[in-house]
Amino acid sequence: MMRKNKLSAIMMVLVLVMAAALTGCSDKKAKEQEIQNKVSAIDTAYEAFTAEAAKKLEAYKTMVSEDEAYTEEDAVKEKYTAVLADMKKAFTDEYDSTIAENTVDVSKEEDEKKVNTYKDNLTKALGTIKADAVCTEEEITAYEASVNAAVKTYDDRVTAIKKAAAEKKAEEEDKAKKESEEAAAAKEKTAKSSDGSASGKSTSASGS
């Protein structure tokens, strides 16, 4: 009887061990599937991000807001962090390109409209950077310093162009005035000369 009880106890232990092992395997598979699902979700989100430019910002902010869901497991966190960095780079590359295209040497530029266009483009780009809120405060401050320095250069150049234009206009007006005065003086001199000749002829005729 005792032997039978011992055998039953051993069988019970074996059953429990097997059940625990099966449960462990099942839990492991479930965890692996969960990780795979999250990785797939990240890939899908990135595909949507790159496919539709108009919704890039919305897609990026959605990913940022889901931080907790993707940072529990190291394997998922690594994927999430890399994809998030790629998303952010897409924005900063665009910002950098726009700023580079509109940060030029205008020291010899004479077209005020062109200089103001550069300025407007930079101001708009900075506004977008701030509104998107993709960058950190430190990064935004750096962009702001760069844009403001360029804008000041453009403002100074526009002032110089306006000053040169005003000086040129004043010179032209002075020249025109001088020429007008000289023409009037010459005309008056000619008129007096004509009057003198006519008067001389009239006196000579009377004497005859």
Q: What is the pLDDT of residues 6-24, one digit of tens each?
A: 556 555 655 554 544 445 5
Checking if the pLDDT of 198 tops 80, the result is no
Q: Report the pLDDT value the prediction gives residue 21, as an integer from 0 to 100.
A: 45
Contacts of 126 (CB under 8 A, 6+ apart): 143, 144, 147
Kindly report which listed range (34-43, 44-53, 112-121, 191-200) carries the lowest average pLDDT score. 191-200
Distance between CA 92 and CA 78 in Å, rounded?
21
Closest to 73 (Cα-Cα) out of 26, 35, 40: 35
Report which residue type is found at 35.
Answer: I
Report pTM: 0.70
Give the residue carrying structure tokens 């004509």: 194
Which of 53-60's residues contact partners 24+ apart within 8 Å by CB, and which partners? 56/87, 56/90, 56/91, 57/91, 57/132, 57/134, 59/87, 60/84, 60/87, 60/88, 60/91, 60/134
The pLDDT of residue 191 is above 50: yes
The CA angle 128-131-134, to the nearest 5 degrees, is 90
What is the DSSP track for 47-102? HHHHH-GGGHHHHHHHHHHTHHHHSSSHHHHHHHHHHHHHHHHHHHHHHHHHHHHT
Q: 68-104, pLDDT tens digit by residue?
A: 888 878 788 898 899 999 999 999 999 999 999 999 9
The phi-psi region of residue 52 (left if phi > 0; otherwise alpha if psi is between -120 and 50; otherwise beta) is: beta
